[in-house]
Amino acid sequence: MNYSTKQSEINEMTNQLERFFALVDLYNNGLADKDMFLSELLRFEKSEWAKENILNQLLAYNALGAAYGNLKSKNLDYTKAYYDNEYVYKEISYYHNLHYVVSRVAKEEWAALYMTAFRLWCRAYLCIANAYDHLGRFCEAQQYYTLAARDENNIADVEINQGYSYANMHAFWMEEEPWIVRKAQQLMRKYEMQYKNVAPELMSTVCSLVAPSFNVPQVVFSKVEDGIYEQWVNENYLRVNRFCDVEQFSQLSMSDNVKLPYVSDTEDRKNLLESSFEEIKKSFVGTRKIVFQTVVGDGEVNTELLKMSYKNLYSIFDKIAVFLQAYLKLPIEVYKADFAKIWYDNKNNIRPEFLTRTENLSLLALYNVNLDVYGSKKFGYVIDEQTKDLQRIRNFIEHKIVRIADGTMKYDDYQLTISKHELAINTIRWLSW
């Protein structure tokens, strides 16, 4: 391993970053002047962090993410859908940057930086989980909380924030809701003083709700028809019913039972929306089965089937766009309704049909997925490095040449070389969105 201190040396900038992070913490606790805090934030944002050593990059992206997280917490109503508030998007972007730097530490095997990188990596997942919770991406937030808890120092903070997240989730399910309420209640009672100090009304409301007095029955996959497939689906968080993110191996997690809310409209329009919704769900479930059979079923990865599945998963986003065009009666032609562009008008502003639906966090969650896939110049949104790989692979499958060979993924203007294993892993990542 590389023990060189060049990338981990402490210098004057390191000391400045530590002072800035202390200021971020003071502001969060109401002990620092807001104008001074914003002035320092602007100063550090203007720095060219790519020219700093890796230690300073880690500390900078962590501090900047925390700064925007604090601004978000103090200025946003978590029950409302915000499409154009830069705080949450910048918070996520800086933590994406941090994760990229951590991946460099792992790749270059800088041993002197490993523990610092690991702890910041876990903490970044905790903060992104909180951000996703505020954006309506509740189930993905639960996966990120799990990653954050790999650092034992985070466990209490993870569980406290999960309690809030379960409380936010409970209104978004039907049959499963009481079980989610139960999990919120368990955590709120475990950390009673913390909740009473910060959110006593929320705790009182959630703990007064009726919930089961016993745990969700668990699945014995050996007794389930096609049990190997069903277990693979749950282990990779691939249900349409995303309750498996909350109770990964419970009986409740086993059904793909997400339903379209009742449509109060003409019979023709109702039939159109219901059939479109079912088509999207069936397309996903059918592709999921093909991916399993291709990756796991026969023990040999069929690369052509895998590439077809990859393209099909990508096309599901555009089917969602067509559904939204019809559901929201957007003033655009159906043939122009693709997932990258449907959110914006001709002046590249977010459409009012989305902005006026401040109670619909599910729409906001879809918009944020769009940012993860395509980015946004408006917010300077930084796409996660893994997501860049997903999009890059799709472009080569669709338009260029994909060569299957062992080794690390590499590409030029015409050809992408990728191993069967990495192609399979990235296809499963598409499924897990």
Q: How many residues does the chain have?
A: 433
Reading the chain (433 residues) residue by residue, the pLDDT tens digits are: 565 667 778 889 999 999 999 999 999 999 999 999 999 999 999 999 988 999 999 999 999 999 999 999 888 887 778 888 889 889 999 999 999 999 989 888 888 899 999 999 999 999 999 999 888 888 889 989 999 999 999 999 999 999 999 988 876 665 667 888 999 999 999 999 999 999 999 999 999 998 999 888 999 999 999 999 999 999 988 988 777 778 889 888 888 877 777 777 788 888 888 899 999 999 999 999 999 988 886 555 688 888 889 889 888 999 999 999 998 999 999 888 889 889 998 888 899 999 888 888 888 989 988 888 887 777 777 777 778 888 888 888 888 998 888 888 889 889 999 988 888 888 888 888 7
246: its two tokens = 């909350």
pLDDT of residue 256: 81
pLDDT of residue 71: 93
Three-state SS at 219: coil
Say if CB 271 and CB 316 are below 8 A apart. no
* SS3 labels along 20-84: HHHHHHHHHCCCCCHHHHHHHHHHHHCCCHHHCCHHHHHHHHHHHHHHHHHHHHHHCCCCCCCCC
User: At 174, phi and psi to the nearest 5?
Assistant: -105, -85
Cα-Cα-Cα-Cα dihedral sign, residues 219, 225, 432, 407: positive
Is the pTM above the cut of 0.85?
yes
308: its two tokens = 């077809």
**Domains of the chain, start order:** 1-150 (1.25.40), 152-214 (no CATH), 216-258 (no CATH), 259-431 (no CATH)
Helix %, strand %, coil % for the chain, to 5?
65, 5, 30
